Amino acid sequence: MSSSRQLISSITIYLGLPIFICGTLGNLLNIRLLWRTRHNPCAFLFLALSFINCFILVYGLFTRILNVGFYFDWSSTNIIWCKTRTAFSQAGYYISFTCTCLASIDRFLVSCCQEKYRKLSRLSIAIWAVILTIIFWLSLSIPHLVYLELLPSPSTGLISCSLGRYDTFSNYVKYFSFPVYYGLLPSIILTITGLLTYRNTNKLQIIRQRQIFQKQLTSMMLIQIPIILVSTVPYVIFTEYSLSTASMTKSANQKAIELVISNIV
């Protein structure tokens, strides 16, 4: 078990730190380049997405690197940090996914031949969509601020931040909220809008109706979609597998392997 823990620590440090550094620099560069075009609806959505992603990288990923990589875990000793990190990190992930979906929907609308659909791509709509998205996901994270507690783990006996005493809400998070909001819903929206945008784009390339800037934003969106799907769906699938097999008897070796895979995905 100690060797697997050391392996997980090394994976978290040597993969997590480059992702944190490159991701932060990339999002800051996005903010720098997109700021002058912020009046474009899609550019505004990408700008909001970059701000949210910077928050996630610092509040979510960097604290995880400190926890798993360097064994510096505030969430097991400080109840306020336990509640706020989980609640705001989760809200940040969902806001990020929603902004990405909104940007993908905007690219689909812009790529449509019908003018009535293209007119739906407006800055005012994009601004209200982001505001309502932030309010909605922060509201859904309030129960975490209420229910999360520092409790001993039933398997290890160590104190951890968990929903152990609230089975109903815990089951809602495990079996509905996480797989649907984090995996299924954004995957369906991004796949459908991405395919429709690609189809419309091919038509528009033939009749040459798009501007260069719109083309660049569309390309940026289409590149992000498969990356998001590949980097999130395996995590959702493996997490649901772990939950469904939690009651099964597993050898120490199998548990160690699954723990390593879980941290990788």
Residue 213 has pLDDT above 60, yes or no: no
| pLDDT of 50 above 90 | yes
pLDDT category at 249 given cuts 50, 70, 90 is confident
The percentage of the chain sitting over the pLDDT mark of 90, rounded to a whole number, equals: 28
Alpha carbon distance 165, 170 (integer Å): 9
pLDDT over 70 at 67, yes or no = yes
When pLDDT is cut at 50, 70 and 90, the band that residue 205 belongs to is low
Predicted confidence at residue 22, as pLDDT, reads: 95
Confidence of residue 96 (pLDDT cuts 50, 70, 90): very high
Mean pLDDT of 95-107: 92
Taken as a whole, the chain contains a residue count of 265
Cα–Cα distance measured from residue 100 to residue 98, given in angstroms and rounded to the nearest whole number: 5
Q: How confident is the model at residue 203 (pLDDT cuts 50, 70, 90)?
A: low
Q: Does 202 or 143 have the greater pLDDT score? A: 143
Find the mean pLDDT for residues 81-91.
90
Q: What is the DSSP letter of 62?
A: I
pTM for this model (two decimals): 0.84
Compute the distance between CA of residue 13 and CA of residue 8 in angstroms, rounded to an integer.
9
Confidence of residue 56 (pLDDT cuts 50, 70, 90): very high
Residue 21: predicted pLDDT: 95
pLDDT tens-digit profile of 141-183?
999 888 888 877 665 566 777 887 777 888 888 888 888 888 8
Query: 126 with 40: CB under 8 angstroms?
Result: no
Q: At what angle do helices 252-264 and 212-244 cross, to 10 degrees?
A: 160
Q: What pLDDT shows up at residue 201? A: 75
Judged against a pLDDT cut of 90, whether residue 92 lies above it is answered with: yes
pLDDT recorded at residue 262? 80
For residue 175, the enclosing domain spans 2-264
pLDDT mean over 134-143: 94
> Could you tell me the CATH number of the domain that includes residue 182?
1.20.1070.10
Total number of domains in the chain: 1
d(CA 106, CA 142): 29
Helix axes 2-34, 252-264, angle to 10 degrees: 10
Q: Could you count the other beta carbons within 10 Å of the beta carbon of residue 180?
A: 13
Distance CA 253, CA 42 (A): 48
